Structure 1
Amino acid sequence: MAHLRVLLGRYRGDSALVAYVDHIRDLNADFARMWAEHPATQVRSRAYSLHHPIVGELILHGAAASSPTCADSVCQNSRVRSPVVDVAVGSDTGKRYSANFDVTYLRRQPLLAVLADGMGDGPGSAAAGRTAVDVFVDYVTRAPEPGPDMLRDAVAAAHARVSRIGNELRTLAGCTLTAMVAAPQGCWLVQIGDSRVYRLRDGLLELLTTDHTMAWLGAVHGWYPFDSAQAASARYQLTRYIGHGGAPEPDVLSVTMRPGDRYLLCTDGVSEQVDYGDLHTFLGRDAHPQSVVSDLLAASDAAGGSDNATAIVIRVD
């Protein structure tokens, strides 16, 4: 199952970002408060351009091409201690689009890794990814201890906010959301959409998450081959995502973390363009996570760069 490569297309809208400015004013105040409460290291690098430059300037007060990434900030929940980990994050806009609608948050201790992939390339996409990550992170960092109910509540809060954006902008507003959250016995995985979490353990690369698409269901249940015309059409049909009118629940899984483990969180811009064998090779190298991230993004670009590509790599020592 781990090597099934079920590809997903993306809705591509034509809406102008001008329509987004009014809504950003409200989000800007919320994000400024969260930024003050959870200080973050702003990494200014081309590899960390994680969201649309105009949106970034508005939300981050001029800190475009930066990611809310905190290496060692202290969470309110002091009882949760992650294993010793090294982490890295990076993103590449690719060749097809002029803007990047992938959004991330990464904190090393206690581990909190979150990524979102906006659906489409209009103002709803830009708003959805940024808002979903901000709301989820704010909810989790305020909780006394992470658990399944709290994580589902955090996703529900993100649903509500993103749905409101779609109603206000009168356009598609939706995104995936995938996260790893430190827990007393390991980590919680949170999954909604088709971004992915892989784990390399003892030489075996496993896909820990499920793509919430009709293409995935069709391939798994034998409705059609995953590389068929039917599957190609079904790749555009997400069964669950943030902003969905039915507010579907995420998958929440408990996983252990062992020394030697390598975890990869990635958007479909990586998983669709870098095959299983190359993922295994990159993650299996005795290299710092930042080097692995760079290799993954370079491979995505070399394969065509047809989508925004984002990767978070976590090495457990």
Structure 2
Amino acid sequence: MENRITKLFNIKYPIIQGGMVWCSGWRLASAVSNNGGLGLLGAGSMHPEVLVEHIRKMKEATDKPWGINVPLLYPEIDRLMNIIIQEGVKIVFTSAGSPKKWTPLLKSHGITVVHVISSTLFAKKCEEAGVDAVVAEGFEAGGHNGREETTTLTLIPNVVESCSLPVIAAGGISSGKSVAAAMTLGAEGVQIGTRFAVAAESSAHPTFKQRVFDTEEGGTMLALKKLAPTRLIKNDFFNQVKALEDAGAEAAQLTELLGKGRAKKGIFEGDMTEGELEIGQIASMLHKEETVAEIMEDIIADFNKTTSKLGDLKL
């Protein structure tokens, strides 16, 4: 397949791996890139020196295109951006903030910039800021989420119609069927998080992966809405958050409960009780660990089978 997304990144398949905290290290990202997609390092959970280490290992592990996801609210954002420029990174996905400040600087160094959005309003602002593409993420997605709670099925066609940028669909996408659905709605690529988060090459803790496989339909919910809406697996920590929210707690109380390192505790260290277990709604569709190669092969075969069937459909 060739379209604006595959040309923009020079990749074989318009499949991007989400740059997820505590999951998206160099092993996962390089495996996705080596299998024809676009792998992303998740800088949001890396200290600057750790990011440098992962960047250099990426350069050794793959000669294919790859990039970095950078949450713009990162406390050492200046250092991260300097590292990205100095290390010659070619692709940056930004999220959790306005793209206006950093996009001109990144592009002045020849870096392709993509920003993650959750509404048509932000899609238009991205176009004004000069980004090269947008990731339109519906609220089915895991982790930090849009306040609008717009589903992917609704968000994608609205964003496609509202701006001229290439659109990458995200949120609830894990199979070839869902890739085909996103492209039917006008997306030219997809970003997949949850399925790659539990891949063999993911740096997530084995206990966390198994908890994802055990998650049933309805097992995730949005929480922490007064801070930053976040989709979590229901566990003891989630129940504490929900009790506070149901009691009308203010942001300060939620911040105190959240503390520091909750996501690391759950995803990376395997604490299923007190950890923040960020994952998407499609967790209930996943039941076993697969390698990235197996995931990519399955998605591509399912996509081709699905689109072949669609060709025979008529109203």
The structure that is strand-richer by fraction is 1
TM bucket normalised to smaller: under 0.3
The structure that is helix-richer by fraction is 2
Which protein, 1 or 2, shows the higher relative CO under an 8 Å CA cutoff with sep ≥ 6? 1
Could you state the TM-score of these two structures normalised by the residue count of structure 1?
0.28
Could you state the TM-score of these two structures normalised by the residue count of structure 2?
0.28
